[in-house]
């Protein structure tokens, strides 16, 4: 069993923090929550390092932990919304609206409407450019399930965006 050292975690954080935060932003919808999720994962790992058979599996472990952290954040958010005033959907800031094209905003809105599992698969596959095997490991599902989930997600996105499915 390999237990990552603190310097290994620091190097992993320095190399992959930005990509992990970007992945989390696409899943939770805001940068502050995404940063909190990623930082919480690394803090927990520093307190209680995972024991892995292979050091190369550490990044997959971190991705899965961030994915689970995003799920927990969304569950907490849903519970809060259930017991509070009706929620207005987040509005793009003026800066974001100026930076992003209308086409990209449409894709983001369509992505946000996908079921959680499909959205996660699309983000992992196309945003992080992970292979089906890596997506499978991060989500804890079989490769065949990844492929069928991706097919359904892409078909739903094509319908939503008014494009012909491939």
Query: In which band, very low, low, confident or very high, does the pLDDT at 100 lie, cut at 50, 70 and 90?
Result: low
Say yes or no: 67 and 121 in one domain: no
Domain boundary among 73, 90, 107: 90
Chosen domain end from 46, 65, 90: 90
Which CATH number do you get for residue 147? 1.10.10.10
Does residue 84 sit in the same domain as residue 105? no
Closest to 112 (Cα-Cα) out of 47, 3, 39, 29: 29
Same domain, 29 and 100: no
The reply to whether 57 and 75 lie within a common domain is yes
| One domain for residues 74 and 99 | no
Both 79 and 12 in one domain: the answer is yes
Domain boundary pick from 65, 90, 115: 90
| pLDDT at residue 142, rounded to an integer | 93
- Rounded mean pLDDT of 55-77? 87
- 4 pLDDT band, cuts 50/70/90, is low
What are 125-140's pLDDT values in tens digits? 888 888 899 899 889 9
- Same-domain check for residues 27 and 50: yes
Token pair for residue 80?
């809060």
pLDDT at 112 over 70: yes
**What DSSP assignment string belongs to 88-119?**
PPP---HHHHHHS-HHHHHHHHHHHHS-HHHH
Q: Which domain holds residue 99?
A: 92-166
Plot region of 162 (φ>0 → left; ψ -120 to 50 → alpha; else → beta): left
Tell me what the mean pLDDT of segment 33-43 comes to: 93
Q: Are 42 and 116 in contact (CB under 8 A)?
A: no
- The whole-number pLDDT of residue 36 equals 94
Do 102 and 83 fall within a single domain?
A: no
**Could you tell me which residues are beta bridge partners of residue 138?**
none
Confidence of residue 37 (pLDDT cuts 50, 70, 90): very high
The answer to which of 47-51, 89-93, 107-111 has the lowest mean pLDDT is 89-93
What domain count does the chain have?
A: 2
Residue whose token pair is 């499978």: 136
What stretches of the chain adopt beta strand conformation (E)? none
Q: How large is the average pLDDT for residues 81-87?
A: 61
The structure tokens 């050091």 sit at 55
């Amino acid at each position: 069993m390999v237990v990552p050292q603190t310097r290994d975690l620091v190097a992993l954080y320095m190399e992959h923090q930005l990509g992990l935060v970007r992945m989390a932003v696409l899943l939770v919808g805001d940068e502050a929550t995404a940063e909190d999720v990623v930082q919480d994962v690394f803090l927990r790992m520093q307190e209680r390092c995972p024991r892995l058979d292979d050091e190369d599996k550490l990044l997959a472990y971190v991705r899965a932990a961030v994915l689970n952290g995003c799920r927990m954040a969304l569950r907490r958010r849903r519970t809060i919304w259930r017991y509070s005033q009706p929620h207005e959907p987040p509005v793009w800031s003026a800066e974001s609206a100026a930076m992003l094209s209308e086409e990209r905003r449409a894709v983001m809105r369509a992505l946000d409407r996908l079921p959680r599992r499909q959205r996660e698969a699309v983000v992992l596959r196309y945003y992080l450019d992970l292979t089906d095997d890596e997506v499978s490991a991060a989500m804890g599902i079989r490769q065949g399930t990844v492929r069928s989930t991706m097919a359904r997600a892409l078909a739903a996105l094509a319908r939503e965006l008014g494009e012909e499915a491939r």
